Amino acid sequence: GQQWVEISGEASGLPNSGFTALYLDPNDSRVLYLIGGSDVRFATVESAGLDPDSVNGVYRSLDAGQSWENINRGVLGGKSGMVKRLVFYENRSDILYLGAENGVYYSTDKGASWISAPGLPYSTLGGIALDGDVIYAFTNGAGLFKGTVRSDYSIAWDASQRVTAPIAFAQLLKYPRDPLIIYASGYPGGIFKTTDGGATWHEKNFGIPSFKVEDPVRQGYYALDLNRSNPDVLYLGLYGKGVYRSKNGAATWYPVNGQSWEMADKSITSLKTSLTDPNVAYVAAEEGVFETRDGGQSWTAINEGLTTTDIKTLLIDANDELYAGSRGYGLFHWRPGFWDPLTGFGNFGVIWPMWNKRPLYQYTSLMIHPRDDSKMLLGTFPQGIYRSLDGGESWRESNVGWTNDGVFYLVCHPDNPEIVYAGTYNGINRSLDFGGHWEMWANGWPGEQWVFSIDFDPLNPDVMYACSKNGENMGTGREGFRGTVMKSVNGGALWFEITRGLELNQEFYNVIVDRLEPQTLYLSTQREGVFISTDGGDNWQPWNEGLANPVAGTNGNNVTNTMALSADGSAIYFGSDGSGVFRRIITSVLPVSGLSAELHQNGVVLSWKFEDINKNFGRFNIYRATELFSGVEGLAPYGSVYSAAITSFEDSNVRAGVQYFYAVTAADANGVENRHSIVLGPVVLTGGEPPLALKECDFSGEGKISLIDVLVFLLLARDHPEN
């Protein structure tokens, strides 16, 4: 490779055009084949003086490239279109197969003659491949076809043996002056055109860049439109790749993104042209609506009056009036200079009729980021997820990767609130960036499950539980299977059923993990009350003592929360159908609440509240330390109080200038503590008159202090004797 010699000069026999591939005869290295051509229709490049029969096709050299011969033999060339692939059959020099734009051809005599291999239902090809006697033809937009090489080297195509890529976005556009001419766009694939009513199609992507998107359903747009007054003028918008224009019926395309390329990176979703002026076009994008009046040389944003710039679709009516449809904020009519909102729409689709006596399907769940209250998610139907990053002042649809499902439930990962799980109409979706992007996370789930509830093991959040109703048959399920309960031990990557002991011919609304005993689960059912599992869901049994009405207070609608855990984790509440709300204490003793402090005779007096509902009180344990602690495990009580009626404790053994941390727990008669509580305080003791005083101040400590009440004291007495 240190020196190269050109072998395509004027005397070589090669035309002055490009080629796409060079092949060596597998048995004679002096025999070379060149294939190539142009995928532009030659009527558009006649001025270049190019002959399609010389540009398209195959050239052969028998002398290592010193001279070349066109071996199209009247078969290839203008008829075949651009030749895209050549393969030798079983490394034989005499049997050759070609994949060309308009079909497959073969030769049994080293290219001395060519035979067409008919039978493909779609002839616009991207190439071929051979595997023994099996041949594959990959098309531009119609998938992959399979055939078998016969003994005479002809091909038997099997139309049923076809692999296709799912088309995420498709659009058809009729040519107004000829009903046989139709344009089609699709992702993946691009632009195609038929001139015979759909009998044959040809790729029309010359000049258009290829592109890949994260979410083909949401972003895979080839937004195409033609001008009715001059239908050979077409405009094309690509998501994230700009705007393109054709003046010759899609034969060639060129970018029209403005002089500063301002449209090149727009997230385009829709495009429309004026009915009367081929130089006027409108583009809808996630960044708003844009207009050109000079064929794309310049673009202007026209967003005045829009309540969102997230525009999904455009329409031009018979009077050349422009309309815009937004994601969640209704429809708008363009008046010269501003957008006029249309009445009757907006507010995320609240005008949808009530379906099957299920109200409020439009709004299903609202979640606020636990560490940043400016970030919020709203689950809706049928529009999926909306996200706000400014405390609800504004909202934008946020469904990249989302499936075509509504939302029943939203919950954050306990340790990382950026990870969000959503119960949907078809299992569970997951986001790793607080709703910015989504993925299906329902491996192992049965189909069409409406997931109402998701919960985590507090000690190991990779262990997850969820329950659902069967959404088959418009949400009624099927006989014998109305719902299920599922478990995952790897963060939701794989789920399995945990339904032993449950009647599955009913729906399941809430599953809750006990905060102190994570092997204990509580489950609300449609008509059999509450079930409990003490082995992580392996087995279930009824838990309805005292529950006068076991029928849950819901008609199967997503807005009803039939069971809830109290904030301190000590009680379960169940809402019945017509009999009110029932409560059951799930701890042997309730926690203390309302922990506070005051000074008394130069000492600290702690006070709290307590309710001995179960009549099982044993003692209060008081804990003290000089460093912040997140739990009392491993700590010895600093003091104890043995009467439920005495809800205070005086600590006189304090010193000035020392910071103290306190916690108070309640224990039952067997000494088992309830450590559920809310962090309170801090309180600071400062010098003054009297020598010690309590002062409220802000405090934020490192670590987890969510299960016990902690009070912080700092004694800073001036000239005060140590106690």
Confidence category of residue 709, pLDDT binned at 50, 70, 90: very low
Written as six digits, the tokens of 54 are 């010389």
Q: Is 703 exposed, middle or buried (0-12, 13-18, 19+ CB in 10 A)?
A: exposed
Written as six digits, the tokens of 406 are 């509504």
Sequential DSSP letters for 46-111:
GGGT--HHHHSEEEEESSTTSS-EE--TTTSSTTT-SEEEEEEGGG-SS-EEEEETTEEEEESSTT
Determine the Cα–Cα distance for residues 483 and 500; give it in Å rounded to an integer: 13
How far is CA 218 from each of CA 256, 399, 410, 512, rounded to the nearest angstrom? 23, 8, 21, 34
Cβ pair 37, 55 in contact under 8 A:
yes
Q: What pLDDT is attached to residue 516?
A: 82
- The sign of the dihedral angle between the CA atoms of 257, 258, 259, 263 is negative
Determine the Cα–Cα distance for residues 179 and 197; give it in Å rounded to an integer: 7
Least-confidence region, from 366-370, 404-408, 694-698 = 694-698
Who has greater pLDDT, 291 or 624?
291
**pLDDT for 85 beyond 60:** yes
Mean pLDDT of the 168-172 span: 79
Mean pLDDT of the 611-628 span: 88
With 0.95 as the threshold, say if the pTM is over it. no
Determine the Cα–Cα distance for residues 217 and 170; give it in Å rounded to an integer: 10
Q: pLDDT for 195-245, tens place per residue?
A: 998 887 788 888 898 878 887 777 778 899 999 999 999 999 999 999 999
Confidence category of residue 359, pLDDT binned at 50, 70, 90: very low
CA distance from start to end of the chain: 92
Residue for token pair 């937009």: 141
**pLDDT for 100 beyond 60:** yes
Count the Cβ atoms, other than its own, within 10 Å of residue 346: 17
Determine the Cα–Cα distance for residues 185 and 221; give it in Å rounded to an integer: 9
Name 480's Cβ contacts closer than 8 Å, sequence gap at least 6: 504, 505
Written as six digits, the tokens of 601 are 């005779």
Reduce the DSSP state of residue 351 to 3 states and report it.
Answer: coil
Q: What pLDDT is attached to residue 576?
A: 95
Beta bridge partners of 716: 686
Q: pLDDT for 433-473, tens place per residue?
A: 999 999 999 999 999 999 999 999 999 999 999 999 998 98
Cis before 188? omega within 30? yes
Confidence category of residue 475, pLDDT binned at 50, 70, 90: confident
Written as six digits, the tokens of 138 are 């990959």
Reduce the DSSP state of residue 588 to 3 states and report it.
Answer: coil
CA nearest neighbour of 670 among 614, 607, 602, 608: 614
Count the Cβ atoms, other than its own, within 10 Å of residue 696: 9
Cβ pair 245, 233 in contact under 8 A:
yes
Sequence length of the chain is 723
Backbone angles phi, psi at 206, to 5 degrees: -70, 120
Determine the Cα–Cα distance for residues 486 and 495; give it in Å rounded to an integer: 6
Cβ pair 467, 485 in contact under 8 A:
yes
Written as six digits, the tokens of 285 are 């994008």
Who has greater pLDDT, 600 or 114?
114
Determine the Cα–Cα distance for residues 611 and 474; give it in Å rounded to an integer: 47
How many CA atoms does the CB half-sphere of 530 hold within 13 Å? 28
Determine the Cα–Cα distance for residues 486 and 351; give it in Å rounded to an integer: 35
Q: pLDDT for 669-706, tens place per residue?
A: 998 888 654 434 444 454 444 444 443 333 333 322 23
Q: What pLDDT is attached to residue 161?
A: 67
Determine the Cα–Cα distance for residues 485 and 481; give it in Å rounded to an integer: 12
Confidence category of residue 329, pLDDT binned at 50, 70, 90: confident
Cβ pair 524, 508 in contact under 8 A:
yes
Reduce the DSSP state of residue 219 to 3 states and report it.
Answer: helix
Q: pLDDT for 628-641, tens place per residue?
A: 777 777 889 999 99
Cβ pair 434, 367 in contact under 8 A:
no
Written as six digits, the tokens of 12 are 């070589």
How far is CA 108 from each of CA 21, 98, 605, rounded to the nearest angstrom? 21, 12, 103
Structural domains in the chain, sorted by start? 10-163 (2.130.10.10), 169-341 (2.130.10.10), 443-585 (2.130.10.10), 593-716 (2.60.40.10)
Determine the Cα–Cα distance for residues 20 and 250; give it in Å rounded to an integer: 23
Who has greater pLDDT, 186 or 317?
317
**pLDDT for 505 beyond 60:** yes
Mean pLDDT of the 613-630 span: 86
Cβ pair 640, 612 in contact under 8 A:
no
Name 353's Cβ contacts closer than 8 Å, sequence gap at least 6: none
